[in-house]
């Protein structure tokens, strides 16, 4: 196992850390407790060579890093290679006024290296500590622009409301989506969550009672280069996608909520009570369920333990709760079920309308379309 560090972004520190833990678990790594690591860095351990894969997975981070030399002293045998830039964390486009930056740059050039702030071959980042500055080298950047380019406004099939792609990617990492892992969304909508799971290499299955939503999700999948293993149109308590495995690795969903969502007048709490037990029972032992729900309305899933719950303000009038559940290791310790939280009916009435619209329930299955394989995000 190799030691590295991840610089988390500031959108939601709690969700960013939970996402990192999920991404690391999918890669065989873990967060480690290392005293003296400055914020916003988190120390991690993961298998050799996996750092680029970790950076490619993350949505709520800036970069992955490794330890760098102490540039306050001559480099000696650690001769520099190529050009470099030196900046303090939190100031990616400047920092030349920092004395430690000047010192590091002089040390680098004195040993034969070059400084190039525009297109450096190596990037070093400094963090101030009580005893001085600790330097880290950027080993793999997180491509935040590519993630932002998947915003709902850029997709061929759109609805007014949807999770930002960084939050959808975080949810997919909470679900440990990845190659060889099956992921189900019984409330497909525009497909934003399953798209991120598919981009991470997961085998994705989805259901929605609205045929237009299912076909629209297929348009978005094709646009993003994602192939669904199976989709179905109908009531998720009754139908299942073609090719559905007997057990799933993860359930990942942003269920309908609010008065204009696709519940056909059925209270959202009642809808979840009908649908979720069926699919929780199909989770593998130690499988996970990730639900994105209005804050304070998260259900209890019998047979699963709640591992994480993070509230995130997604816009001025709406706060969502990202809830991660894990099924017991024996898978049969308790009959999977559902229990609504106190006050869930009131939470429903006050929630914003989701992107889903009413539609027919035909039970029609949609097999996977030929297309390019899922790509790493």
Asked if pLDDT for residue 355 goes beyond 90, the answer is: no
Pairing of strands 318-327, 304-315: antiparallel
State the average pLDDT over residues 200-213.
96
**Residues ≥6 apart with Cβ < 8 Å to 77:** none
Most confident of 24-38, 121-135, 250-264, 362-376: 24-38
Asked if pLDDT for residue 350 goes beyond 90, the answer is: no
pTM: 0.85
State the average pLDDT over residues 43-59.
97
Q: Tell me how far apart the alpha carbons of residues 150 and 328 are, in angstroms, rounded to a whole number.
A: 35
Q: Tell me how far apart the alpha carbons of residues 134 and 112 are, in angstroms, rounded to a whole number.
A: 22
DSSP string, 142-154: --HHHHHTT-GGG
Model pLDDT, residue 377 = 35
Model pLDDT, residue 258 = 60
DSSP 104: H
Ordered structural domains, the chain, with CATH: 2-144 (3.30.2130.30), 145-366 (3.40.50.150)
Asked if pLDDT for residue 253 goes beyond 50, the answer is: yes
Asked if pLDDT for residue 351 goes beyond 80, the answer is: no
Asked if pLDDT for residue 338 goes beyond 60, the answer is: no
Residue 173: which pLDDT band, with cuts at 50, 70 and 90?
very high
CB atoms within 10 A of CB 370: 5
DSSP 181: -
Residue 94: which pLDDT band, with cuts at 50, 70 and 90?
low
Phi, psi of 66 (to 5 degrees): -130, 165
Q: Tell me how far CA of residue 93 lies from CA of 26, 88, 89, 118, in angstroms.
A: 33, 10, 10, 9
Asked if pLDDT for residue 199 goes beyond 90, the answer is: yes
Residue 28: which pLDDT band, with cuts at 50, 70 and 90?
very high
Most confident of 35-44, 78-87, 213-222, 251-260: 213-222
DSSP string, 300-353: B-TTEEEEEEEEEEEETTEEEEEEEEEE-TTS-SS----BPPTTHHHHHHHSPP
Residue 265: which pLDDT band, with cuts at 50, 70 and 90?
confident
Q: Which two tokens stand for residue 84?
A: 């470099």
Q: What is the mean pLDDT of the chain?
A: 85
Q: Answer yes or no: are the C-beta atoms of 278 and 335 closer than 8 Å.
A: no
Model pLDDT, residue 47 = 97
Helix axes 165-174, 192-199, angle to 10 degrees: 60
Phi, psi of 149 (to 5 degrees): -70, -10
Instruction: For residue 206, give the 3-state DSSP assignment.
Output: strand
């Amino acid at each position: 196992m190799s030691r590295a560090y991840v610089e988390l972004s500031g959108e939601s520190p709690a969700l960013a850390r939970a996402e990192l833990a999920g991404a690391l678990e999918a890669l065989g790594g873990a967060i480690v407790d290392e005293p003296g690591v400055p914020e916003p860095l988190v120390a991690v351990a993961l298998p050799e060579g996996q750092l680029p894969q970790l950076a490619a997975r993350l949505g709520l981070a800036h970069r992955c890093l490794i330890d760098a030399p102490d540039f306050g002293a001559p480099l000696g045998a650690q001769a520099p290679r190529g050009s470099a830039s030196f900046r303090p964390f939190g100031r990616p486009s400047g920092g030349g006024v920092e004395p430690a930056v000047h010192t590091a740059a002089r040390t680098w050039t004195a040993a034969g290296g070059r400084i190039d702030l525009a297109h450096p071959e190596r990037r070093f980042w400094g963090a101030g500590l009580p005893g001085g500055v600790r330097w880290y080298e950027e080993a793999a950047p997180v491509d935040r622009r590519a993630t932002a380019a998947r915003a709902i406004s850029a997709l061929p099939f759109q609805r007014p409301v949807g999770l930002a792609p960084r939050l959808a990617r975080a949810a997919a990492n909470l679900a440990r989506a990845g190659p060889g892992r099956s992921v189900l969304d019984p409330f497909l909508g525009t497909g934003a969550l399953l798209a991120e799971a598919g981009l991470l290499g997961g085998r994705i299955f989805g259901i929605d009672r609205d045929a237009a939503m299912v076909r629209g999700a297929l348009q978005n999948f094709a646009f993003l280069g994602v192939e669904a293993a199976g989709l179905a149109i109908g009531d998720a308590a009754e139908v299942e996608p073609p090719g559905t495995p007997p057990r799933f690795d993860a359930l990942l969903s942003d269920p309908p909520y609010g008065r204009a969502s696709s519940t056909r007048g059925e209270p959202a709490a009642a809808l979840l009570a009908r649908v979720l037990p069926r699919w929780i029972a199909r989770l593998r032992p130690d499988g996970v369920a990730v639900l994105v729900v209005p804050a304070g309305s998260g259900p209890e899933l019998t047979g699963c333990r709640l591992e994480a719950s993070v509230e995130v303000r997604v816009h001025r009038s709406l706060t969502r709760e990202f809830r991660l559940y894990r099924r017991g290791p024996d898978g049969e310790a308790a009959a999977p079920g559902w229990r609504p939280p106190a006050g869930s009916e009131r939470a429903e009435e006050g929630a914003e309308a989701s992107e889903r619209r009413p539609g027919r329930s035909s039970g029609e299955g949609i097999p996977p379309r030929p297309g390019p394989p899922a790509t790493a995000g």
